[in-house]
Amino acid sequence: MKQVTDNVYVDTGLRGCNPGFVITEEGIVMIDSPQRPSDTLKWRDEMKGKGEIRYLINTEPHPDHITGNFFFPETVVAHQGTREAFCSLSVNMIMDRIKAIDPEELPLMEGYFLKAPSITFSERLFLYLGHHSFELIHLPGHTASQIAVYIPEERVVFTGDNVFHKVQTFLHQSYPDEWLRSLKRIEDLDVDLIVPGHGGVCDKSYLKEQASFIEEWTEAVREAIRQGLSKEEAQAKISFLDRYPMDIGLAARGPEVQRMNVERLYDVLKGR
């Protein structure tokens, strides 16, 4: 866990997403939580020494962001689409993922259930605690219900997985055109720091690189379609694995993620 501004803490060294929290005069607001139950429990204990937890915000519905909700009795806030995406998840799916990471984690998950967000919004939601404001902004891209959490008093934005800083980008449920527009909107925020969904904390200078990687991916698949390649042929041909490492613990999934990215972009570009 690292303090990145006066009141903002982030951990970019865990397997899973980058969880963070903000300390306000009226308690703690969390942004996502660690994926591995033992990390979440450690995280929860460390936070308890700093104040009362008030809210947990989910930036998207992928398991590496929402698995830990179960460990927090507090109110979960997210986009309405993230709540709806909980229908496509199952306890078994989450258990299988954790088992694959480390079977010794399973006893910590006794009684596990999927804890869905209970406060949702569609375009924008403001939360005020003490002298802090949290602006939750719908910015579709990595997923349809992706949000950013902008905290002007700390000059920080949590972008979730719309930013993968110097690690492989997952496009398997993406909307590439919307994603590029969302990156432009992040560019307009008055911030010094970006907390990405994966990879180290960065600043706005990285947004261009993230955008051009999405453009390159899209162009490679568009070119394959132009050449008449089938989806399978495109999957066999296209890989950007040499560009960035996979995030922590995911190296073995590299080739699969490339195939998932091609499949998604192929379908998007074919209008399916």
* Residues contributing to the site for Zn ion (CB under 5 A): 62, 161
Query: Is 31 or 53 the residue whose CB approaches Zn ion more closely?
Result: 31
Between 37 and 197, CB nearer to Zn ion = 197
CA gap 61, 29 in Å, rounded: 18
Helix (H, G, I), strand (E, B) or coil at 119: strand
| Distance in Å, CB of 111 to Zn ion, minimum | 26
81 vs 154 by CB, closer to Zn ion: 81
CB of 172 to Zn ion, least distance (A): 9
Is the Cβ–Cβ distance between 40 and 33 less than 8 Å? yes
Residue (154 or 161) nearer to Zn ion, CB: 161
CA distances from 72 to 36, 56, 110, 159, 175 (A): 14, 8, 14, 22, 31
Closest to 101 in 3D by CA, of 257, 258, 248, 259: 248
Q: How distant is the alpha carbon of residue 68 from its chain centre? A: 13
**From the CB of 92, what's the least distance to Zn ion, in Å?**
20
Taking the complex as a whole, how short is the minimal distance between the CB of residue 231 and Zn ion, in angstroms?
Answer: 22
In 66-89, which positions are buried (b, 16+ CB within 10 angstroms) versus exposed (e)?
A: bbbbbbbebebbbbebbbebbeeb
- Minimal distance in Å, beta carbon 197 to Zn ion? 6
Q: Which is nearer to Zn ion, 120 or 168 (CB)?
A: 168
DSSP codes joined into one string, 192-212: SEEEEEESS-B-GGGHHHHHH
Residues linked to residue 132 through DSSP beta bridges, in sequence order: 129
- How far apart are the C-alpha atoms of 97 and 271, rounded to whole Å? 31
Closest residue by beta carbon to Zn ion: 62
Smallest distance from Zn ion to CB 52, Å: 29
- Nearest CB to Zn ion, comparing residues 37 and 160: 160
> What is the β-pairing status of strands 156-164 and 147-151?
antiparallel
Residue whose CB is less far from Zn ion, 62 or 259: 62
Instruction: Please state the closest distance from residue 173 (CB atom) to Zn ion, in A.
Output: 8
Task: Look at residues 55, 197, 32 and name the one whose alpha carbon lies nearest to residue 126.
Answer: 55
Minimum distance from residue 198 beta carbon to Zn ion (Å): 8
Residue 86 DSSP symbol:
G
For Zn ion, the closer of residues 62 and 132 by Cβ is 62
